[in-house]
Amino acid sequence: MGNPKHTEVSVARQSPQRPDADEPELDDTTASAAADEVEVDRPAADRALWDELRIDPVEIALPAGTGFTLRAYRPARELTPTDVAERDQDDPFLARRQVVEAEDDEEVVILDEEFAALAAEEDEDADDEKRAGRGRRGKAEAAADETTDEADTAEADEDAADEDEDEADAAAGDEEVPAFLTHRGKLLLFKTPESLVSFIRSGAPNDLSQLDSWNELSERVEPADIAPLNEDTYELDLVVENLRGGHDAWDPTLLIEAGEVARDLAYALRLPAVLDMLSAGSSLDDLDEALRASVNGGIGGFLGRRRLKKIGAQTASLGWRTIVGKISAVVDWRD
């Protein structure tokens, strides 16, 4: 299952190589035997379980290793985001920011006290005006009536704005968003299918357990089921090196798929810095759009390749190194 934000792009990683002229050609019997051997070595996984439960096994390669996890897409209103409070306590940069915010809060408290004192003085002035006589009070009442009319108009405008906001919230709640096998702001990656299945069956707390299909998955999943599709296999460990190789070496499929899973992970793991780096209009999003255009034929592909030539390889590789580093920092490796 791909990221709903992007359309699927199918590009071969490597062009098939033709056999050398001096190599003997395989007859039909030998070719058939070779095909059977490949099928035996890599049996097709049964997708019925995953299609029924709407959860997918995913394989992610990072500089520290390769691991298996799970991903699902659900309406945002059905999901409770992962709790990052414990994770953020270990982030020195975030801790420093929280200290600054705390200092700002103290300043706000002081301002609130000053505002309360000013409000008290205004109340005393209002009492003095009440004692000034009926004529002045009458003018105040007339002004109050005008203020009430203005307040009614403002309240009506505010109600209309609230309705628009409620409609926007409802639309956002119906949008499908990614959720991974996470816990307390950490992505759980398992080095073997057996260890992933053992965790699923253990009943250990995780953020996917809120799905209505989770209990059934824990009862039915087997290690043989942990066989991600090609489109659910991501090689984030190769992205930076590929970008460093220069424009002619860039692998569109590798880079496009990396962008898809990075956006998903950034959303599910609540990594706003990564989301910003990949947001619309950013340099890395421009790279993504140019790569998508370049794999298309015709004038669109030609223009996409021209756009790629204008994107700095060093800038792109540095940006992706940051992204891969931030994702790696919130991974909890499990054996």
Number of domains in the chain: 1
Task: Say what the pLDDT of residue 102 is.
Answer: 44
215-238 burial: b if 16+ Cβ within 10 Å, else e: eebeeebeeebbbbeebbbbbbbb
Q: Is residue 146 part of a domain?
A: yes
CB 235, CB 61: distance < 8 Å: yes
Task: Say what the pLDDT of residue 324 is.
Answer: 98
Task: Say what the pLDDT of residue 33 is.
Answer: 47
Kindly report, residue by residue over 107-157, the tens digit of the pLDDT: 333 334 443 444 455 445 545 544 554 444 455 455 555 655 665 666 666
Q: Is residue 162 part of a domain?
A: yes
Return the closest-CA partner of residue 45 out of 221, 264, 257: 221
Task: Say what the pLDDT of residue 88 is.
Answer: 77
Q: Is residue 112 part of a domain?
A: yes
Q: Is residue 43 part of a domain?
A: no
Alpha carbons 207 and 184: distance in angstroms, whole number: 8
Q: Is residue 20 part of a domain?
A: no
Task: Say what the pLDDT of residue 104 is.
Answer: 46
Query: In which residue ranges of the chain is pLDDT below 50?
Result: 2-43, 95-119, 122-123, 126, 129-130, 133-137, 140
Burial of residue 269 (CB within 10 Å: 0-12, 13-18, 19+) is: buried
Q: Is residue 154 part of a domain?
A: yes
Task: Say what the pLDDT of residue 142 is.
Answer: 53
Alpha carbons 325 and 317: distance in angstroms, whole number: 12
Q: Is residue 60 part of a domain?
A: no
CA 334 to chain centre: 22
CA 54 to chain centre: 18
CB 291, CB 207: distance < 8 Å: no
Q: Is residue 290 part of a domain?
A: no
Range of the domain at 167: 92-174
HSE value, Cβ hemisphere, 13 Å, CA-based, for 270: 15
Amino acid at 281: G
Task: Say what the pLDDT of residue 161 is.
Answer: 62
Q: How far apart are the first and last CA of the chain?
A: 26
Kindly report, residue by residue over 306-325, the tens digit of the pLDDT: 999 999 999 999 999 999 99
Alpha carbons 193 and 222: distance in angstroms, whole number: 9
